[in-house]
Structure 1
């Protein structure tokens, strides 16, 4: 498989986008306070990467996005007292609590669009996303995400005889 055209490692707490709340005045706002800092972190890392590629222009071709979100484990997954810092045997292997994976991908795709990686998030034709806990397998050591972008046109050329 070809190498991705862009690989980003973003550190910070992944923030979901999509759920809205109403305030007392009737105005809508994001229910997650983490979405704005997350989008800014993704945008900053993407802009820094694109700064080193003077020929880059926002992708308008079909793209494949791969996102792996590394999430912090809740404190109740760990023992207490002499077992402090030890993972409980009952602790789940995969994060199945909020935030929702689709809402994490939504905020991340919007940040990639804002940074000029994508012309629009509608160009994403294939999306592979997963949530893992930090320090599990190939996860990051701290919360964040690894984002990879491929041009599907490049992958199609590779498959042609």
Structure 2
């Protein structure tokens, strides 16, 4: 496969981070602390990643997160939460869920950015996957 795949997922990116312990009766399991917000985000990424192609070889992935700008930002760039690595984790897992990546272990090079939207630009993530 030699084709580059690029697309944009509109929405507010959600990080995948800490786990919490859930208990019901004698059953105990781990779940994402922010599962209510995380599940819809991963579903959006998965739906957009369903492109009829699966990368099952080394790839370069480029992610540009466009995050909501606060009314009074401290800096010109979003050097605040959510953490870039946790945003990446949720997005790569969504790409696996959607079948674009066979496994996120196939990612051998990763370029990640966070920025605020330009005028009339939506929040979300721009994704490019390139065979390595």
User: Is this a same-fold pair by TM over 0.5?
Assistant: yes
Which of the numbers 36, 46, 64 marks the counterpart of 2:39?
A: 36
Residue in structure 2 matched with residue 20 of structure 1 by the alignment? 19
Q: What whole-Å deviation, never above 9, does each CA across 1:46-92 have from its counterpart, x for those lacking one?
A: 22xx15xxxx3x21110000000000012333xxxxxxxxxxxxx41
Residue in structure 2 matched with residue 147 of structure 1 by the alignment? 127
Return the index of the structure with the highest Cα Rg: 1
Counterpart-to-counterpart distance in 1, 2:29 and 2:70: 32
Q: Scaled by the length of structure 1, what TM-score is found?
A: 0.71
In terms of fraction of residues, the more helix-rich structure is 1
Q: CA deviation at 1:108?
A: 0.7
CA RMSD of aligned residues (A): 2.1
In terms of fraction of residues, the more strand-rich structure is 2
Counterpart-to-counterpart distance in 1, 2:22 and 2:16: 17
Q: What whole-Å deviation, never above 9, does each CA across 1:10-52 have from its counterpart, x for those lacking one?
A: 00110111211235756432122421111111111122xx15x
Q: Scaled by the length of structure 2, what TM-score is found?
A: 0.85
Whether 1:133 aligns to 2:116 is yes
Q: Which runs of 5+ in 2 are unaligned?
A: none
Residue in structure 2 matched with residue 11 of structure 1 by the alignment? 10
Counterpart-to-counterpart distance in 2, 1:24 and 1:120: 30
